[in-house]
Amino acid sequence: MKKRVLSGVRATGKLHLGNYLGAVKGMMALQDDPQYETFYMVADLHTITTPYDPQELRKNRREIILDYLAAGLDPEKSIIFQQSEVPQHTELAFFFSSVTTIAKMQHLPTFKEKVKQYPEHATLALLNYPALMAADILAYKAELVPVGIDQEPHLEVAREIARRFNQDYGTDFPEPKRFKTVGEYIPSLTGEGKMSKSIEGSYINLSDNLETIKSKIAKIPTDSGKGTIHPAGKDTVYTSDAGTVSPGTGALMSFVHLFMGGDKRRELETQYETSGIRYGDVKKELSELIFAELAGFQGKRLELEANPEYVDLIIKKGNERARAAAENTIRDVKEKMGLL
């Protein structure tokens, strides 16, 4: 039997460059590997764990699927589906919540962040977010999960749940591992933290045109272009001649590395410590390279928008195939738990 892969994206808007490089690229690499059977969903149930608008959700969960297809997920190779259309996920999540302690969930960094962001919405659904995510993965007994580095704590919970269930009930859940990409952590354009849909000014959308990309890249808060570089731990720190640390320069260098290569980055770092960098030229070239990577996506997206019946059919078939696969797992789990 082929090894399985599962991944998902919340339905909070269109895909951004961080989702694409951190997750979708890995999803594509695995769908093209005949060793794997790939399940890719839109996580619409995870979207309702924080405040949301129903109209927007209905629109956004379709946008994500259009983005998946335009980016190159292939319904001939992957099962593309909507999480809420496969009720086995919520069923399994409830079973999993019986081996998950409240204390453990309260201490997860992702939970704490969301509670800080929405103090009035520290709900049970939010607390149970990682158990639902474990159910998404383990409903298919998936072994590999292509996601960005920010999802690692959730995968750790999924592994713990799998171990615990196997011990208590004799199930045969694998301990799922993250499939890493070079873009596992894409920084925010503001220079602070990671690129994120919830931080305005932090992201590039896959649908942005060249002008928009140029203006967003131009706004990365770089420094005078000259200073010193210290490799501090894992992260390089750029300190301009004025003596201030420049996180924006660090973010720019990450993008240079990804789109122009490691040699170009080293060349620019040498310039930073000697003659100084002319950011205008670098930012312009970088914007053009980012746009070039997205141009194919944008053409395909327009074609798909003009063909809603085709998209509907893919979703319908994907939902059916996912339900059939998840039902097999649920039946086995219920039997072992004494529910059948």
Residues that bind ligand TYM in the complex, under the rule CB under 6 A: 6-10, 18-19, 22-23, 43, 46, 133, 136-137, 145, 147-148, 150-151, 154, 183-186, 194-196
Q: Closest approach of Cβ 24 to ligand TYM, in Å?
A: 8
Of the pair 9, 65, the CB lying nearest ligand TYM is at 9
Between CA 253 and CA 236 the distance in angstroms is 10
Of the pair 39, 238, the CB lying nearest ligand TYM is at 39
Cβ–Cβ < 8 Å for 7, 184: no
Q: Closest approach of Cβ 165 to ligand TYM, in Å?
A: 17
State whether the Cα torsion 86-30-165-129 is positive or negative.
negative
Of the pair 45, 314, the CB lying nearest ligand TYM is at 45
Between CA 281 and CA 273 the distance in angstroms is 18
Cα 270 to chain centroid distance, Å, stands at 33
State whether the Cα torsion 268-249-221-193 is positive or negative.
positive
* Length in residues, the chain: 340
Between CA 8 and CA 259 the distance in angstroms is 25
Nearest to residue 134, comparing CAs of 82, 92, 179, 105?
Answer: 92
Q: Closest approach of Cβ 27 to ligand TYM, in Å?
A: 9
Of the pair 212, 254, the CB lying nearest ligand TYM is at 254
Of the pair 44, 223, the CB lying nearest ligand TYM is at 44
Q: Closest approach of Cβ 226 to ligand TYM, in Å?
A: 28
Q: Closest approach of Cβ 67 to ligand TYM, in Å?
A: 11
Between CA 111 and CA 125 the distance in angstroms is 11
Q: Closest approach of Cβ 41 to ligand TYM, in Å?
A: 7
Q: By beta-carbon distance, which residue lies closest to ligand TYM?
A: 22
Q: How are strands ordered across the β-sheet holding 36-43? A: 78-82, 36-43, 3-10, 144-146, 177-179
State whether the Cα torsion 205-206-208-211 is positive or negative.
positive
Of the pair 195, 277, the CB lying nearest ligand TYM is at 195
Q: Closest approach of Cβ 11 to ligand TYM, in Å?
A: 8
Of the pair 137, 322, the CB lying nearest ligand TYM is at 137
Query: Angle at Cα 321 formed by Cα 319 and Cα 327, nearest 5°?
Result: 95
Cβ–Cβ < 8 Å for 238, 229: yes
Of the pair 22, 191, the CB lying nearest ligand TYM is at 22
Rounded to the nearest 10°, the torsion over CA 140, 145, 150, 153 is 50
Q: Closest approach of Cβ 241 to ligand TYM, in Å?
A: 30
